[in-house]
Amino acid sequence: MTPVLPGATIGILGGGQLGRMMTLAARVLGYHVIILDPDPNCAAGAVADRVIAAPFDDIAAATELANACDVITVEIEKIGANAMAAASAIVPVRPGGHVLHIIQDRARQRRWLNERDVPLGPFWVANTAEELGLAMKAAGAHAFVKSSFGGYDGRGQTRTSPRDDASEVWSSLGSSTCVIEKALDLEGEISVMVARRPGGACATFPPALNHHVSGVLDWSVIPAPISGAVARDAVRIARGIAEQMDVVGLLAVEMFMLRDGQLVVNELAPRPHNSFHHTEYASLTSQFEQGIRAVCDLPLGDTESIRPAAIANLFGDLWLHDGATPRWEQALALPGVRIHLYGKSPRAGRKMGHVGAVGATAEEAVTLAIDARARLMPR
């Protein structure tokens, strides 16, 4: 295969903060970037050469993007299949439509993983309210019910108890196919990032340890303070999924660590991931540069962690205190702290950026990141 060399043009389907950070990495390597996104003022637009403002299922827009680019990648899963196919007929689209087809549908994703003996927690798929009721009973005292399509950062899902009415849960999630997952006894949550070139060469980052609040990532640290055996097992599982799915580009694999020592897969994301933003501070190669290298078929970078690093997410609520400005100088006064903002308009619950921090240990990095975020709060 012929690599796509610096000086060429990369198309990115999606212009959110992930597209913005991928664009910045591509710029450093000397590439031009064109974004396709429904929002003409998307976050990535400020740093890209051009934005094609169109829906993600717009075949004409995808064709226009492909005709202007040498390779295309994605920063969001919800790209229309016909638009992917139209672009793929002109230039390489990495990862391919077959990957998005599996991952866009939670039920399809779970079945695909289960058929390949990937470790999973007990799950059921419901296509009616009655099937949901049976699954909730089978799951026991508590379960997580997730819409099969769409939903992220805690949206499109709910936790149930035996007192909940299945019909009401079904209606609240749009009366469409759901995946029901048995609540598990968790020790923690980790993720692994795999980068893979068209010829099959792979590189993996060390696992990150993640902490969620209300289903949304609050902080993450790399390398995860876990045993070497657990880390090796997590990398083995993630790499195996990427190879069997024939991913080209990036694949983030979220996993649960159970108290009995098992690892089970939770979710897949074929793009950069919030839980690896700290690779910009901790690693010889960031996830964003690695993603560009992978889709352009360039040698993959070294993923070694130079030192522990953590991020703490910043949400729009921080900006909504009577119009007061976050106290940037208070956080930046702390040694080892950086701030990364995504260029988005604030609203409650919206990810606006993150605080990054490095430390001698993972625990020290997490403490520093959380402290820096607390200092941002307006008086």
Q: What is the pLDDT of residues 135-163, one digit of tens each?
A: 999 988 789 999 998 766 556 788 888 78
At 89-126, the pLDDT tens digits run 999 999 999 999 999 999 999 999 999 999 999 999 99
Least confident of 69-73, 86-90, 160-164, 284-288: 160-164
Q: Which percentage of the chain shows pLDDT scores above 90?
A: 86
Mean per-residue pLDDT, 197-220? 96
Has domain 9-93 been given CATH number 3.40.50.20?
yes
The C-alpha atoms of residue 188 and residue 255 are separated, in whole angstroms, by 9
Q: Where are the domains of the chain?
A: 9-93, 122-182, 186-376
What average pLDDT does the chain have? Answer: 95
Least confident of 55-64, 163-172, 270-279, 362-371: 163-172
pTM of the model: 0.95
The C-alpha atoms of residue 377 and residue 379 are separated, in whole angstroms, by 6
At 224-274, the pLDDT tens digits run 999 999 999 999 999 999 999 999 999 999 999 999 989 999 999 999 999
pLDDT reported for residue 325:
87
Cβ partners under 8 Å of residue 253, min gap 6: 191, 192, 193, 194, 234, 237, 238, 241, 242, 265, 267, 268
At 302-332, the pLDDT tens digits run 999 999 999 999 999 998 877 678 999 999 9
pLDDT reported for residue 251:
98
Nearest to 39 by CA among 60, 20, 22, 24: 20
CB-side exposure of 263: number of CA atoms within 13 Å? 24
The C-alpha atoms of residue 239 and residue 242 are separated, in whole angstroms, by 5
Task: Report the CATH fold assignment for 122-182.
Answer: Dna Ligase; domain 1 (3.30.1490)
Task: Report the CATH fold assignment for 186-376.
Answer: D-amino Acid Aminotransferase; Chain A, domain 1 (3.30.470)
Q: Side chain identity at 74, as an amino acid letter? A: V
pLDDT reported for residue 153:
59
The C-alpha atoms of residue 293 and residue 130 are separated, in whole angstroms, by 48
pLDDT reported for residue 52:
98
